[in-house]
Amino acid sequence: MKSTLIIVPTYNECDNISLLMDGILAEAPQCSVLFIDDNSTDGTRDEIQRFMRAHPDRVFMEKRPGKLGLGTAYIHGFKWALRRNFDHIIQMDADLSHDPKYLPVMMSQLESKPLVIGSRYVSGGGTRNWSAIRKLISRFGSIYARLILGLPVNDFTGGFNGWQAATLRSLPLDDVKSNGYVFQIEMKARAIRAGAAFVEVPIIFVDRQVGQSKMSSGIVYEAMWRVLTLRQTLAAKKPAALSDRHAGRPASPQ
């Protein structure tokens, strides 16, 4: 059986850890979990350590000294996973916006697809409890990236994604410079341009109930600017064939 690591970046998510871990243990008991915590001050680390003590062989934490950003947290986690030879890597938020109930379908799709995208913008996907402005920013972000980068992904900005290890190994992780939302766009664009086949699995994204959003206007501006520079970067590389892609269609159940 393939080994799967779920990577969860955390910054002050104390009240979400327990529910998240209960969900993961129920839906994907065979998976390992790696938290990347950026020196949370609200007791997040204590909560994580509680689960590490209960599941020492499968719950791990990397501690970083301060809030260094989502992008570098994931790159740190990806490298950690590759060093330990996990076959599949799934990234998800700690704030329960990404429901662990989707883990089984993502894992089963990863058996055959190099990149599995949890998608709000394919049939069966959607968002719950988001303000009109958040919906607009998210929808616009994905359409903007799709048009500028010329790649047929419906949900470019989502952060609930699965990777075959070989897909991550094929990417120059040290060259990934985006740190906020746009990190999700850059990773997908680099992988697809490198030839990774992908599938978009429908997910319902639920707005966080507790904890503080780390979203800011700076993150949105970074995304708009960075997508433009990313187009230049990727244009300099030879595009690979976009074979076996299933953009826009929900994954068929297996």
Residues in touch with ligand GTP (CB under 6 A): 9-11, 13, 36-38, 67-70, 73, 93-95, 97, 208, 213-215
Closest to Mg ion by CB, 64 or 134 = 134
CB atoms within 10 A of CB 87: 15
Residue 55, binding choice from ligand GTP, Mg ion, none, Cβ under 5 to 8 Å by partner class: none
- Please tell me the distance from the alpha carbon of residue 3 to that of residue 14, in angstroms, as a whole number: 27
> Taking CB under 5 A as the rule, does residue 155 contact Mg ion?
no
Closest to ligand GTP by CB, 180 or 202 = 180
> Taking CB under 5 A as the rule, does residue 44 contact Mg ion?
no
Nearest-5° Cα angle at 13, 167 to 182: 40
Stretch that binds Mg ion, among 61-69, 89-97, 194-202, 223-231 (CB under 5 A): 89-97
**Which contiguous run of DSSP H or E holds residue 5?**
strand 4-10
Residue 215, binding choice from Mg ion, ligand GTP, none, Cβ under 5 to 8 Å by partner class: ligand GTP
- Closest to 254 in 3D by CA, of 51, 63, 113, 85: 113
Q: Which two tokens stand for residue 216?
A: 């800011």
Closest to ligand GTP by CB, 139 or 208 = 208
> Taking CB under 5 A as the rule, does residue 97 contact Mg ion?
yes
Strand pairing report for 204-206 and 126-128: parallel
Site for Mg ion in 160-199 (CB under 5 A): none
Instruction: Please check whether residue 192 is in contact with residue 234, taking contact to mean a CB–CB distance below 8 angstroms.
Output: no
Closest to Mg ion by CB, 119 or 164 = 119
Rounded to a whole number of angstroms, the minimum distance from the CB of residue 209 to ligand GTP is 10
Number of residues interacting with Mg ion: please give it, by CB under 5 A. 3
CB atoms within 10 A of CB 203: 26
The correct pick among 13, 37, 47, 95 for binding Mg ion (CB under 5 A) is 95
Determine phi and psi for 30, rounding to 5 degrees: -85, -10
CA dihedral 141, 195, 175, 72 (to 10 degrees): 60
Site for Mg ion in 13-42 (CB under 5 A): none
Give residue number: closest CB to ligand GTP: 213
